[in-house]
Amino acid sequence: MSDKKVRVRFAPSPTGGLHLGGVRTVLFNYLFAKKHKGDFVLRIEDTDQSRYVDGAEEYILDCLKWCGLIPDESPVVDGHYAPYRQSERKSLYREYAEKLVREGHAYYAFDTPEELDKNRKEIPNFQYGHFYRDSLRNSLSLKQHEVDQLLDAGEPHVIRIKMPEDETISFNDMIRGYVSFETNQVDDKVLLKADGMPTYHLAVVVDDYLMKITHAFRGEEWLPSAPVHLLLWEYLGWKADMPQWAHLPLILKPDGHGKLSKRDGARLGFPVYAMNWFDAKTGELTPGFRELGFLPEAFLNLLAMLGWNDGTDNEIFTLDELISKFSIERVNKGGAKFDFEKAKWFNAEWIKRTSAESLKDKVKAVLEDKGVDVKDDSYLLKIIDVIKERCTLLADFYQQAAYFFEVPKEYDINSVKPKWSDTKTDFFNTLIAVLKNETAIDAVVFEQQFKALMEEKGLKAGDVMLPFRIMLVGGKFGPHVFDIAALLGKDETINRIEQALAVFNG
């Protein structure tokens, strides 16, 4: 590694929701940058106008914000390398493409998409490369004056790289080590499209160079086009400044085969996007981890463990810990199948480890969203402490906390009714009397009183504990009953016993 300041970039194209694999790429970029006190740049690769989706860029920014992976430079945070949207850099690329043409490393091609499609269909293994390019319409096969004529006439054309023959292109990938390709096998990729926009191939190289990117992380699906990029760095005369490449393993479908896609999420019932994504065209809402009730800390944590570990048995890491422990050498080569069960475990762990105070706002939002009015924050805090260990997702806080704010709407009557008796009614009426003599409920004292009364009436814990829980909670869940009673307070506890009694005896 040189002594240059580390600069990495995440370069998504704004075509829709942000996939969890994308977030992992961001994360590894970010961890590497911060570990080396470098810069993390967000660059929007919007060179395909036909795929541009309104709102996708803001969405990406929001996702990064939610995750806490804030770019040092982006379309909204200026560094010294603006603009950060490739569509706004359009005029820049042509000059480099023309330079390549002048120097014999690229050429104009006038073939229409239809002609090429036809060739691909009719000729087995057709490639726009050294074998066929002489028989196609381009500045290599046509006479100079014909080319000039076409150009002057404004004939639509693209600029293609001219892949050399019989060369071996190799490089040292930070994750995979030595990787090599035969140039005869790779085709003459389009560099500049007919609409004047660069393709990804030209744009990454030009922008990585101009933005002084030192390390380039991307998914493994880019590996096959690496030789094109390597050659471009060389032909443009920038080889000494080429970033070090790292091709990350893919995140795979949990079942079956292939890359994880948003369709898999819908099919298997879990989110694939970081946050909800609403497609205005189709009206389709693709769910996100955030809205499902994941904590960003847990989301990042689980993503980090998909392909990386620190060599110990530890699996729970804060962002700061990840930054200090991250090393690219410990990133795996093989793809990882996504396991939603384990993802939920990470979230449950994070909820347990997060203080009630830090959880407060998010829990409050969940409750208020369900119509629960939270007036007293300190009351909420006590509730969170007593229920958080039984919540896996933030949404679970509703079921676990709702009864602290409102009388149960329904009782799990079937768990009570079959064994209900007058003795039990008597027990609870006496319990109300006991309670009325107290000024407040103390969980420990109340439990003693409850049990003493129980014995006095000749009842066993199994006879009244569950009914009591159902009186207060409505169902068979929640923390210790006496803690619930204490939190509810004397008056409300009495109130709930009375109300439930009416129902049970009704």
Partner RNA sequence: GGCCCGUUCGUCUAGGGGUUAGGACGUUAGAUUUUCAUUCUAGAAACAGGGGUUCGAUUCCCCUACGGGCUACCA
Q: Does 313 bind RNA (CB under 7 A)?
A: yes
Report the site for RNA in 222-241 (rule: CB under 7 A): 222-225
Query: Minimum distance between the CB of residue 208 and RNA, rounded to whole angstroms?
Result: 12
Decide: 472 and 484 in contact? Cβ < 8 Å: yes
Decide: 168 and 200 in contact? Cβ < 8 Å: no
Q: Does 269 bind RNA (CB under 7 A)?
A: no
Of 152 and 329, which has the nearer Cβ to RNA?
A: 329
Report the site for RNA in 143-162 (rule: CB under 7 A): 156, 158
Q: Does 166 bind RNA (CB under 7 A)?
A: no
Distances (CA, A) of 291 to 15, 181, 270, 285, 389: 21, 44, 12, 12, 20
Which range, of 45-53, 69-77, 263-271, 281-289, touches RNA by CB under 7 A? 45-53
The yes-or-no answer on residue 262 being catalytic is: yes
Decide: 250 and 220 in contact? Cβ < 8 Å: yes
Decide: 57 and 24 in contact? Cβ < 8 Å: no
Query: Minimum distance between the CB of residue 13 and RNA, rounded to whole angstroms?
Result: 4
Q: Does 303 bind RNA (CB under 7 A)?
A: no
Decide: 472 and 483 in contact? Cβ < 8 Å: no
Report the site for RNA in 109-138 (rule: CB under 7 A): 111-113, 116, 120, 125, 127-128
Rule CB under 7 A: choose which of 337, 353, 362, 382 binds RNA: 337
Q: Does 462 bind RNA (CB under 7 A)?
A: yes
Query: Minimum distance between the CB of residue 294 and RNA, rounded to whole angstroms?
Result: 15
Distances (CA, A) of 157 to 108, 152, 153: 6, 12, 11
Q: Which residues contact 471 (CB under 8 A, 6 or more apart)?
A: 411, 428, 496, 497, 499, 500, 501
Query: Minimum distance between the CB of residue 439 and RNA, rounded to whole angstroms?
Result: 26
Rule CB under 7 A: choose which of 336, 395, 413, 501 binds RNA: 336
Beta-ladder partners of 244: 215
Q: Does 335 bind RNA (CB under 7 A)?
A: yes
Q: Which residues contact 461 (CB under 8 A, 6 or more apart)?
A: 451, 454
* Burial (CB count <10 Å: 0-12, 13-18, 19+), residue 441: buried
Of 127 and 499, which has the nearer Cβ to RNA?
A: 127
Q: Does 190 bind RNA (CB under 7 A)?
A: yes
Query: Which tokens is 111 given?
Result: 């073939």
Rule CB under 7 A: choose which of 39, 57, 187, 297 binds RNA: 187
Q: Does 207 bind RNA (CB under 7 A)?
A: no
Decide: 251 and 21 in contact? Cβ < 8 Å: yes
Rule CB under 7 A: choose which of 62, 72, 220, 291 binds RNA: 220
Rule CB under 7 A: choose which of 16, 307, 467, 474 binds RNA: 307
Site string for RNA, 356-395 (x = CB under 7 A): ---------------------------------xx-----
Of 323 and 465, which has the nearer Cβ to RNA?
A: 465
Q: Does 182 bind RNA (CB under 7 A)?
A: yes
Q: Does 460 bind RNA (CB under 7 A)?
A: yes
Phi-psi region of 292 (alpha: psi -120 to 50; beta: other; left: phi over 0): alpha
User: How much is the CA Rg of the chain, to the nearest whole Å?
Assistant: 32
Query: Minimum distance between the CB of residue 98 and RNA, rounded to whole angstroms?
Result: 16
Q: Does 39 bind RNA (CB under 7 A)?
A: no
Rule CB under 7 A: choose which of 269, 334, 458, 506 binds RNA: 334
Distances (CA, A) of 87 to 117, 172, 433: 27, 31, 76
Point out the catalytic residue in the list 193, 262, 344, 424.
262
Q: Does 200 bind RNA (CB under 7 A)?
A: yes
Query: Which tokens is 365 given?
Result: 């939002």
Number of residues that bind RNA (CB under 7 A): 80
Query: Distance between CA atoms of 140 and 383, rounded to whole angstroms?
Result: 75
Query: Distance between CA atoms of 251 and 320, rounded to whole angstroms?
Result: 24
Of 419 and 436, which has the nearer Cβ to RNA?
A: 419
Which one, of 93, 233, 213, lies nearest residue 158 by Cα? 93
Report the site for RNA in 270-289 (rule: CB under 7 A): none
Query: Which tokens is 82 given?
Result: 């603006």
Report the site for RNA in 1-20 (rule: CB under 7 A): 11-13
Rule CB under 7 A: choose which of 301, 474, 478, 486 binds RNA: 478
Catalytic (active-site) positions: 262
